[in-house]
Homo-oligomer: A and B are copies of this chain.
């Protein structure tokens, strides 16, 4: 059956350390040049070029040429979601029974604290925000789905977030997607609401991207603002 070979080919494309490294690096949602990706993957430009061609041809990456640079980014949220679910399964194993304690370097600590996950937030911070919204009746959350209550919608708008009103048949609610946090093993908020939340944090200067990693740094102002809106346990 032809569909199975496409299935295997897709997974194989991701299951190669160099390519996996590139894809993981692109999971922060930004576009990177071929040379930057070569560096993160630890291969030469020649090798990276081949890998990037394959990923692009397979429709996982989109390329934009700008001068003598070529910027590569994930082709769609769908691809990001696929990578995310792979990470969740991979993370599950690692924390599983038989395996040894995960490495705990300083960089890993920052990653567990706060990071981007494609277009939304992840890590302790993100899980904490979701918990706070659930506790105050502003978010409904289950394994299968999540939605802002009308209350939650008003609240997030009130603190300055840009959110489109709910459209279509889902009147009164605005759906978002739960995303299993691979370090916390509990869901945080993804989808349109998650993306808006992330933009709000970055635009307001509550968090800042750290160089060379997906980790985020929470600014002093951010600590203040976030604990004001979402409770002090952040």
**For residues 64 through 118 of chain A, which have their beta carbon under 8 Å from a beta carbon of chain B?**
78-79, 81-82, 85-94, 96, 102-103, 107-108
Q: Which 5 A-B pairs have the closest CB atoms?
A: A12-B15, A11-B15, A145-B175, A8-B20, A140-B170
Contact A90 B3 (CB under 8 A): yes
User: How many monomers of this protein are in the complex?
Assistant: 2
**For residues 124 through 163 of chain A, which have their beta carbon under 8 Å from a beta carbon of chain B?**
134, 137, 139-147
C-alpha spacing A59/B7, complex, angstroms:
20
Which residues of chain B have C-beta atoms less than 8 A from A96's C-beta? Answer: 59
C-alpha spacing A6/B95, complex, angstroms:
11
4 further contact pairs, Cβ within 8 A, besides A7-B87, A11-B15, A142-B170: A2-B102, A3-B87, A14-B15, A141-B170
- Chain A, interface size category, equals 35 or more
C-alpha spacing A11/B86, complex, angstroms:
7
Residues of A that sit less than 8 Å from B by CB: 1-17, 19-21, 24, 58-60, 78-79, 81-82, 85-94, 96, 102-103, 107-108, 134, 137, 139-147, 168-170, 173, 175-177, 180, 182, 190-193
Which residues of chain B have C-beta atoms less than 8 A from A90's C-beta? Answer: 3, 6-7, 9-10
Q: Output the least CB separation between A152 and chain B (Å).
A: 11
Contact A24 B9 (CB under 8 A): no
